[in-house]
Amino acid sequence: MTNPLLSTADLPEFAAIRPEHIAPALDVLLPAAEAALEQAVSAAVPADYDALSAVLDVPLERLSRAWGAVNHLNAVANSPELREAYNTNLGRMTEFHTRLGADERLYAKYKALASGPTAAALSPDRRQALAHAVRDFVLSGAELQGDAKARFAAIQERGAELGQRFSDQVLDATDGFVFYANAEQMAGVPADVCLQTHEAAAAAGREGHRLTLQIPVYLPVLQYATDRALREQLYRAYATRASEFGPAAQDNSGLMTELLQLRAEEAALLGQPSYAALSLVPKMAESPAQVTGFLRDLAQRARPFAERDLAELKAFAAEHLGLPDLQAWDQPFAAERLKEARYAFSEQEVKQYFTEPKVLDGLFRIVETLFELRIRPDVAEVWHPSVRFYRIERPGTGDAPPQLVGQFYLDPYARSGKRAGAWMDVVRGRWQRPDGTPLQTPVAHLVCNFASPVGQVDGKDRPALLTHDDVITLFHEFGHGLHHLLTQVDELAVAGISGVEWDAVELPSQFMENFCWEWEALSRLTAHVDTGEPLPRALFDRMVAARNFQTGLQTLRQIELSLVDMRLHAEADAPGRVQALVDEVRAEVAVNPPPAFNRFQHSFSHIFAGGYSAGYYSYKWAEVLSADAFAAFEEQGVFNPEVGQRFRREILEAGGSRPAMDSFRAFRGREPRIDALLRHQGMA
Ligand code: ZN
């Protein structure tokens, strides 16, 4: 039998891969990786970059490419058989990589290499890759001995368990609330939500509408229900989930304290002053003080706008909604009404102007103009007939042929068996392989979930219509794709998005989003599906105004969450005074502090059960970087090729080969500033 997962063809054989290929492929690839590890740590292999890379990186990359194809199919072409095969084999992959990441012999080899005589002669890219490898070993406790090592492992295990319990209890507390509303109480709520909650009630053998704290129910009720008492009831339930105000078995108070204590202890074991400091070691931000300084500066600048937003909202609620004492449970309701009164436009109307072919063509032209590239259709085996494949080329000069830069798959439409959302994923990275084969060019997946085309006009298929949000999503993922595909780094571990700091990785993606708010760019993406007319300028202006609606209040809310996260992980006494610390941050930042019973931190899964601990600031951080980068284009012309070339060279091509701050400075000629973000969001 020929197993497509063992194929050494240029690209994955997506059409041929079946669930029954997975286990036999791993039966070959995992032992090969194991053997490579044993050989790499043996005395037979010197502490030499090429020697280690040839022995270890080649089989590891082969394994990761095969598993990458399986993982991808599991996300975009799921079936019960595939899911079962995936889940059965996932543990084998995790087990191997956990062991690899903690192998002390391999760490010793890398250390010997880093401090050995050949280190100085390594290229900067290789030095960076090696530094990352050594750093990651240190952060996973490789330097610890004896009791400290055992304690570190115990903390990891207990931390994972507490994080899981935290998220389980949030889930249980969320699911624990049900309220049956009658038709009168549902006044104002959109018809589809009324229908869906009515059906849920009927399924439970009850009358009326089954209301829960799930976002698709909770949010529209808060935004649209005219019944104030109903809004208050849901708000109270939502804001106190998993807290001391609910069942003791779902109270996260103790878990938060223990998690914060454990994290502080972990940081101390690794010689760091706090968990916040530890979390920042592999990130772009340099210190907790830098992050809190950044957040406080932004808060100060956003504050007047937040005060204005709140004053407007209060005045509108008093005058038009009969709510002279605006409460937390009135705010989403009043905001929706005010937004509607001011900027009403129909998403349906906007959609008619964004046909998929026009949007794609416009996106490709923008990228080609900015970065001096060509994007052309290409041919590859795919997993669904709607999937396309493209190649990006650098035009040849004179008689020279075009040069292949990278290739990408585009899987645009939602369908059953495909995971929701949108993402960029790596098929393979750019790499000058140690086996002497020609340079490996990068390949990426761009996956979206747009509505498929429906219907025909004059015997021809109607194109798919995208919402403006869809267009933004496409540009966002394309930005990630460019970051991965345009790299000129030949070292796999720091090529493209590999090795890029976690809080800088959204720079190119959010950068690309800006074009969707730029008239000169956006107008090129539009042609009415029936008339071919471009988007009217007046409609565009309303879209921009709606985008900036209440950004002052939203910004302060994000800063409040970020400061709470940072201070909880930076201050030694925080585990014992979580609520007091939250109150302090609110007093400092919020223009409209929530009610005293609000316990949002008890369901703040991002930082207690997700990967965002001492990292929540990165949302705002990356927005500042991307807005400031885009401002360089605004200053010198949105399609200025000279600025485009510089962005390509200093940010996109450099990838993870140097610190993101160095790349930013090389592009902008200075450190990032927050002015552009404030201006883009109407706060200047
Ligand atoms: Zn992203």
pLDDT tens by residue, 89-139: 999 998 999 889 889 999 999 999 999 988 999 999 999 999 999 999 999
What the block records as the tokens of 131 is 């530094």
The answer to whether the CB of 291 falls within 8 A of the CB of 612 is no
Residue 457 CB coordination number (10 Å): 10
Position 610 scores a pLDDT of: 83
Determine what percent of the chain is predicted with pLDDT higher than 70. Answer: 100
What is the CA(277)–ligand 1 centre distance, in A?
A: 24
DSSP 652: I
Three-state secondary structure readout of 535-579: CCHHHHHHHHHHHCCCHHHHHHHHHHHHHHHHHHHHCCCHHHCHH
What fold, for 4-101+103-143? Glutathione S-transferase Yfyf (Class Pi); Chain A, domain 2 (1.20.1050)
The average confidence (pLDDT) of the chain is 95
What the block records as the tokens of 676 is 């552009």
Residue 248 CB coordination number (10 Å): 8
What is the CA(506)–ligand 1 centre distance, in A?
A: 5
Residue 431 main-chain phi, psi, to 5 deg: -160, 125
What the block records as the tokens of 299 is 């808060």
The answer to whether the CB of 292 falls within 8 A of the CB of 567 is yes
Position 606 scores a pLDDT of: 92
What is the CA(543)–ligand 1 centre distance, in A?
A: 22
- The dihedral of CA 102, 108, 110, 111: what is its sign? positive
Most distant CA pair in the chain, distance: 82
Residue 544 CB coordination number (10 Å): 15
d(CA 526, CA 103): 54
What is the CA(580)–ligand 1 centre distance, in A?
A: 34
pLDDT tens digits for range 448-502: 999 888 877 677 788 999 999 999 999 999 999 999 999 999 999 999 999 999 9
d(CA 665, CA 644): 15
Does residue 253 register a pLDDT over 80? yes
Amino acid code (one letter) for 603: S
What fold, for 360-517? Neurolysin; domain 3 (1.10.1370)
d(CA 561, CA 48): 46
Amino acid code (one letter) for 620: K
Mean pLDDT, to the nearest integer, of 428-456?
92
The answer to whether the CB of 119 falls within 8 A of the CB of 130 is yes
pLDDT tens digits for range 8-47: 889 999 999 999 999 999 999 999 999 999 999 999 999 9
Position 102 scores a pLDDT of: 85
pLDDT tens digits for range 168-188: 999 999 999 999 999 999 999
d(CA 224, CA 310): 19
What confidence tier does 681 reach under pLDDT thresholds 50, 70, 90?
Answer: very high
Position 76 scores a pLDDT of: 96
Enclosing H/E stretch for 362: helix 356-371
- Domain ranges in the chain are 4-101+103-143, 177-240, 360-517
Mean pLDDT, to the nearest integer, of 533-539?
95
What is the CA(179)–ligand 1 centre distance, in A?
A: 36
What is the CA(477)–ligand 1 centre distance, in A?
A: 6
Name 624's Cβ contacts closer than 8 Å, sequence gap at least 6.
Answer: 294, 298, 672, 673, 674, 676, 677
Position 1 scores a pLDDT of: 64
Active-site annotation holder among 477, 506, 560, 623:
477
What the block records as the tokens of 586 is 């609110």
**Catalytic: 104?**
no
Position 535 scores a pLDDT of: 96
pTM of the model: 0.91
Enclosing H/E stretch for 96: helix 80-101
Three-state secondary structure readout of 517-537: HCHHHHHHHCCCCCCCCCCCH
